[in-house]
Amino acid sequence: MKLIRMRKRGRLTIPRDLRQELGLHEGETLAIRVTADRHLDLEVLPSLTADQLCTTFPITEPIDDESWHRDMAAAMAKERSLSSGA
């Protein structure tokens, strides 16, 4: 376990050895969420090019904007309620 301090404006520095072990580089995207009382889960998100994105998540049918927005709003509300413990 590594100990780090929170800096001004909530900044955290991931120690160099952990960045190297995970292959992290400047500009990478990380997801963070509360998993339990005073516990955080940090996940390295994959970096995809536009071609990789289209190959990985192909659009196989027309997208109905209204239903997409409704489904996305419901998914986000569910995620918020899970992370708040409700």
The domain locations on the chain are 8-83
- pLDDT of the residue at 53: 79
- pLDDT of the residue at 85: 62
State the DSSP code for 30.
Answer: E
- pLDDT of the residue at 54: 81
Whether the model clears a pTM of 0.85, i.e. scores above it, the answer is: no
Class assignment of domain 8-83?
A: mainly beta
- pLDDT of the residue at 19: 92
Written as one letter, the residue type at 65 is D
State whether residue 8 is helix, strand or coil. helix
Calpha distance 78→25 (Å, rounded):
31
Which residues of the chain have a pLDDT value below 50? none
- pLDDT of the residue at 66: 85
Calpha distance 69→54 (Å, rounded):
20
Calpha distance 35→41 (Å, rounded):
6
